Amino acid sequence: MKAIIYRDHGGPDVLQFVERDRPTPEPGEVRVRVAVSGVNPTDWQARTGVAHRKLFPEITPHLDGAGVVDAVGEGVDPGRVGQRVWLFMAAAGRPTGTAAEFTVVPADQAVPLPDEAGFDVGASLGVPALTAHRALTVAEDGPRRLRPGALDGRVVLAAGGAGAVGHAVIQLARWAGATVIATVSGPEKAALATAAGAHHTVNYREGDQAAAAIRAIAPDGVDVVAEVALGANLALDLAVLRTRGTIATYANEGGHPVELNVGQHMVLNTRLQFLVLYTAGPQARATAVEDVTAAIRDGALPVGEAHGLPLLRFPLRRTADAHRAVEAGAIGKVLVDVMP
């Protein structure tokens, strides 16, 4: 089979296009013929060693993807062969990610893909959708599960609404009944956030005017902020957060220092929730998978420019270029087409 591998940490040039034997599923695993592989910032961060230390002599990257089960290991229902699936955390603590024609994963990490969704949707879920679900379900007085009506009466602020996680936050929050505000940097990204389903967009570069605009929409304050750049945006978040509101942060883009005004947080009873899928715990991931799959069935998670998430495509042999695009901050979702 054709695969992408790397043996040493480094830039995109360490990625090699090679031939390898098909992996064999062990007990409790499935082998998937990968159609589309999704690329996330954590993939290039793992490749460079920023996010994770290297655990294996040779690694095939990428956590997310979609394809068809073509073999199962002992203890797995053989009826799963031929099943369309979406994959998450494929390369987490394992050497076999989705940047290959075939990969093996634990059976519960190959989730049945509803007939309503194509492989592009499946490969775009994983990290973005599960992270978004986590951000929306950690509030002290909020729901632990998402479904239509679960966020009725709540106001969600999606920081960086044109990014892949921000896009999923908008879609899942809208599906669950929230009023959704997205902060963006300009008209192009505002159009994408609106296409994703945001009720309102606010340019975060407008300083005090941005806070006033959000407060005009939500006079009592925002219930949940899904934050991508905590250091840069914390002052704005606090200016619009309601008492006992939650800031759920999954990144700190820009690397700005995070300075906490302890007194202000105490008065607000702020919940500041840091999150990453690796350590979120199996129960949180399992419920997120169930809810995201339900949202797919309802048609709530479409992708493509018309739905606010442009797709940037690369063939498997150009995976290094796909990594360069993600590192450069490409707008939209970067996908690698594994099968023609």
pTM summary value: 0.95
pLDDT digits (tens, 9 = 90+) for 283-302: 999 999 999 999 999 999 99
Q: What is the mean pLDDT of the chain?
A: 96
Residue 257 — pLDDT band, cuts 50, 70, 90?
very high
Residue 303 lies in a domain: no
What is the rounded distance in angstroms from the CA atom of residue 205 to the CA atom of residue 186? Answer: 9
Residue 292 lies in a domain: no
Residue 51 has pLDDT above 80, yes or no: no
What is the rounded distance in angstroms from the CA atom of residue 219 to the CA atom of residue 222? Answer: 8
User: What percentage of the chain exceeds 90 in pLDDT?
Assistant: 93
- 46 and 124 Cβ atoms separated by less than 8 Å: no
Task: Report the pLDDT value the prediction gives residue 15, as an integer from 0 to 100.
Answer: 98
Residue 155 lies in a domain: yes
pLDDT digits (tens, 9 = 90+) for 190-222: 999 999 999 999 999 887 899 999 999 999 999
Comparing CA positions, the residue from 9, 25, 46 lying closest to residue 104 is 25
- 160 and 249 Cβ atoms separated by less than 8 Å: no
Residue 298 lies in a domain: no
CATH number of the domain that residue 160 is part of: 3.90.180.10
Mean predicted confidence (pLDDT) in 150-154: 98
Comparing CA positions, the residue from 26, 29, 12, 22 lying closest to residue 101 is 22
Least confident of 15-19, 157-161, 244-248, 317-321: 157-161
Indicate if 160 and 88 belong to the same structural domain.
no
Comparing CA positions, the residue from 222, 171, 176, 216 lying closest to residue 197 is 171
Indicate if 107 and 76 belong to the same structural domain.
yes
Indicate if 134 and 175 belong to the same structural domain.
yes
| Number of domains within the chain | 2
- 8 and 14 Cβ atoms separated by less than 8 Å: yes
**How many other β-carbons are positioned within 10 Å of the β-carbon of residue 119?**
23
Terminal Cα distance for the chain, rounded: 14
Residue 205 lies in a domain: yes
Residue 81 has pLDDT above 90, yes or no: yes
Residue 253: which region, alpha, beta or left (left: phi > 0; alpha: psi -120 to 50)?
Answer: beta
Residue 340 — pLDDT band, cuts 50, 70, 90?
confident
Sequence-separated (6 or more) residues with CB below 8 Å from residue 134: 248, 250, 275, 277, 280, 284, 288
**Token pair in block for residue 291:** 């809810």
Sequence-separated (6 or more) residues with CB below 8 Å from residue 267: none
Range of the domain at 40: 2-124+309-337
What is the rounded distance in angstroms from the CA atom of residue 270 to the CA atom of residue 138? Answer: 12
Indicate if 120 and 139 belong to the same structural domain.
no
Indicate if 133 and 100 belong to the same structural domain.
no
Task: Report the pLDDT value the prediction gives residue 153, as an integer from 0 to 100.
Answer: 97
Across 170-181, b (16+ Cβ under 10 Å) vs e yields bbbbbbbbbbbb
- 226 and 135 Cβ atoms separated by less than 8 Å: yes
Residue with tokens 């490749």: 47
Residue 301 lies in a domain: no
Task: Report the pLDDT value the prediction gives residue 208, as an integer from 0 to 100.
Answer: 83
